[in-house]
A and B are shown apart, each in its own frame.
Chain A
Amino acid sequence: DAGVTQSPTHLIKTRGQQVTLRCSPKSGHDTVSWYQQALGQGPQFIFQYYEEEERQRGNFPDRFSGHQFPNYSSELNVNALLLGDSALYLCASSFLPGQGLRTQYFGPGTRLLVL
């Protein structure tokens, strides 16, 4: 079982550009959540996808958008990048949105640097 995988592992962009990050959930999982972890901070919830729809959203602007595919994998898109978007982006998967946080697995993250 590969667990939660994310790509790419590292990424460098410049201000104003757009970026797409990818996540494949753990086998058997159908729900994907995205978190942003800035340096020295804890992860902050961005949004959650289930059945190819955004189910919940944290306090992030519309520049952050996502998608979930029929195979449950997910993308996080960030438009008009700002320096403050530099962070580790974590994907977490679980089986059904309400099946318990103890069964939520995190991927290793994508480190995004905006110059």
Chain B
Amino acid sequence: DQQVKQNSPSLSVQEGRISILNCDYTNSMFDYFLWYKKYPAEGPTFLISISSIKDKNEDGRFTVFLNKSAKHLSLHIVPSQPGDSAVYFCAAPQGGANNLFFGTGTRLTVIP
């Protein structure tokens, strides 16, 4: 049962434009969400998170929006840069604090 879903396997965006990556979840008990970025041959690295008591969290060029009623979150990257090209995973904690349900990932390509 895929509790965290990323329905777009890939996304291409021009440099300088906005990238929007989407994630849906089914478990209404999730109270915390994270986004990770993964480059080839590297492990995922934490990017940004959001608590379920908020609907927006911003960190520099990265903003995550949470719509609890729709069980949907999105990651906005503005402006997109070629170095942002990577696979992005959304994730939510399961049970213990360090155990995560991951989505299947979205490969972002930023075209110079």
> Which A positions have Cβ atoms within 8 angstroms of B?
4, 31, 33, 35, 40-45, 48, 55-56, 58, 90, 92, 94, 97-102, 104-109
Contact = CB atoms under 8 A, between A and B. Distances in A.
A100 B97 contact: yes
29 contacts: A4-B43, A33-B99, A35-B102, A40-B9, A41-B105, A42-B6, A42-B102, A42-B104, A43-B44, A43-B89, A43-B102, A44-B102, A45-B94, A48-B98, A48-B99, A56-B95, A56-B96, A56-B99, A58-B99, A90-B43, A98-B97, A101-B34, A101-B46, A102-B34, A102-B49, A104-B98, A105-B43, A108-B41, A108-B42
A39 to B, nearest CB: 11
A54 to B, nearest CB: 12
Contacts of B102: 35, 42-44
Given A42-B102, A90-B43, A106-B43, A101 B96 contact: no
A45 to B, nearest CB: 5
Given A42-B105, A106-B43, 10 more contacts: A4-B43, A35-B100, A42-B4, A43-B89, A45-B100, A56-B96, A90-B43, A101-B34, A101-B97, A107-B43
A5 B104 CA distance: 24
A60 to B, nearest CB: 12
B46 A102 contact: yes
Q: Is the interface of B mostly helix, strand, loop or mixed?
A: loop
Contacts of B96: 48, 55-56, 97-98
